[in-house]
Amino acid sequence: MPTPPTNGTATSAPGPSRRRILAAMAAALPVASLPVLSSPASAAPAGAALPGGGDLGPNVVVFDPSTPNIQGRLDEIFQQQETAQFGTGRYALLFKPGTYNGLNAQLGFYTSIAGLGLSPDDTAINGDVTVDAGWFNGNATQNFWRSAENLALTPVSGTNRWAVAQAAPFRRMHVKGGLNLAPDGYGWASGGYIADSRIDGAVAPYSQQQWYTRDSSVGGWNNAVWNMVFSGVEGAPAQTFPDPPYTTLDTTPVSREKPFLYLDGADYKVFVPEKRTNARGTTWGSGTPRGESLPLDRFYVAKPGADAATLNAALDQGLHLLLTPGIYHVDRPVEVKRANTVVLGLGYATLIPDGGATALKVADVDGVRLAGFLIDAGPVNSGTLLEVGPEGASQGHAGNPTTVQDVFIRIGGAGPGKATTSMVINSNDTIIDHTWVWRADHGDGVGWDTNRADYGVRVNGDGVLATGLFVEHFNKYDVQWYGQGGRTIFFQNEKAYDAPNQAAIQNGDTKGFAAYYIADTVTSHEGWGLGSYCFYNVDPTIVQGHGFKAPDAQGVKLHDLLVVSLGGKGQYEHVINGIGAPTSGTTTVPSTVVSYP
């Protein structure tokens, strides 16, 4: 396996299959002995008012600087979660403001670590928050579903290692040193996302094939493979796509950071950052961040086992939702009807719809905040898993948009799952800020028709902005865009690996379904840094006509596009429509288009 260079030059990908050399992953290890803070929730009696606030549940572990044996607790949880790719364990590790010396918090699956200060610098770890790939023989391309937020790190070696793949956000972090995004030895890696963070030293992505960084500050950026995108990043490299493949926007048009839990004295609150336009740099570097603090007693603190009836009763009562770590089966949609409602998950809290239900629906109202949870499709087909705004939504929300942040969707992998369309955005002006919508290509319940999922994300609303859009492996279109005035900054895609033959993906006269489809009725749309890869490992002779389909309209403009054939397993004829050279043989070299039209 070639070792990528450590300078700023582009390099070819480090291997043909990229991630899924797949065996069934180990089940979760026996549950470690952890502090139990409460028992699971049960439904409230009919007509009874639900309480706001309360403890944070059995899978939230809270530390302060005087807590004994913090390292031992961290190691215990990591041992359980390191290889539990499709396990049921969910954990949030929360650190009260203060200084912690000599820690190495290794993060496994479904583990979130966060500081409880209003600023990252309130919670200082003289040590590391580490993600590596020892469990997978140095291959970091399956290091999914983990996160770090709101901490200041002074790495022991001077450089913190964060070797992740999709669904592993690094938000609101201050690294007083460098940040290495590749596994030890620079094995394969495929991430990733940074926002509202400051890295004093250089970021070294090495083998990372793609990455998106938003509204942050970096001390340098040392390498690029296929697609590195920056918006609003102080210290970002200049625009040079395709060689090196840097796409750089000076600002982010609209952004609003993810809500987060913090301590105000002894009281838990949720901070809801305000919207920024033409944003650049962090929200916290120049004093107190701007936004609103919500006391915890305005939240229904849900525990694993709470059902949809209970969650809806809390919402109807006017409470926000805090989903503590665990699994929540819902037999009907969780319905958010009130403007400015916050639904915040901790530790990858997971909603599983039963009986073909939609997991969560949002009314056509202002300012809803969905953040920090996973939706796992159930075995009975759901028409839609997440719906933001009802069909035909028409209200304008530009002044106070709904945001969907670190909300991840999965079909199959943890078991059989089916959904016709995973995420539907009907409300105008919605911001999708970092999502991974994934039809599983490995794990349990995986097969061309076993975890059938035709469409990933469908956007019907106008003025929708996606910042950090990862959508992979759908049977037909991965992204369909019907709304006007849409914008996407960074898109990463792989077509479905498991198509059995050319006929299975034939789309009328077109060979295959585009990864990113803009409807012919759309007259205004813009995108930057968009990539699609194919790896047809069942039938390597499959030809994909193009990665992108767009109308020939004056207001439709796409910048810095690429398609890649991974090791020659399938080929693209073009990049977009009939434009762009075909991919070539087994060389795993991107075909690029700098500007469309």
Give the separation between CA 183 and CA 181, rounded to whole angstroms.
Answer: 7
Is residue 415 within 8 A of residue 450, CB to CB? The reply is no
573 carries an active-site annotation: no
| Pair of tokens at residue 589 | 């070299």
Which contacts of 502-509 are long-range, i.e. CB under 8 A and separated by 24 or more positions?
Answer: 502/539, 502/541, 502/542, 502/543, 504/448, 505/542, 505/544, 507/476, 507/545
Is residue 282 within 8 A of residue 197, CB to CB? The reply is yes
| Pair of tokens at residue 328 | 């929540």
| Pair of tokens at residue 526 | 């813009």
Cα-based angle 272, 273, 275 (whole degrees, multiple of 5): 125
Farthest CA pair distance, the chain: 67
Q: Tell me how crowded residue 541 is: count the other CB atoms within 10 A of its CB.
A: 10
Give the separation between CA 533 and CA 535, rounded to whole angstroms.
Answer: 7
Query: 425 has which bridge partners?
Result: 388, 459
Classify residue 385 as exposed, middle or buried by CB count within 10 Å of its CB (0-12, 13-18, 19+). buried
Is residue 190 within 8 A of residue 212, CB to CB? The reply is no
Which residue out of 82, 257, 387, 494 is catalytically annotated? 494
Give the separation between CA 197 and CA 172, rounded to whole angstroms.
Answer: 5
Give the separation between CA 577 and CA 546, rounded to whole angstroms.
Answer: 6
Give the separation between CA 421 and CA 460, rounded to whole angstroms.
Answer: 13
C-alpha pair distances (Å), 133 with each of 88, 185, 190, 348: 20, 10, 12, 20
Is residue 201 within 8 A of residue 179, CB to CB? The reply is yes
Helix or strand (DSSP H, E) at 234: none
Give the separation between CA 107 and CA 74, rounded to whole angstroms.
Answer: 8
Residues in the chain: 597
Which active-site residues does the annotation give?
494
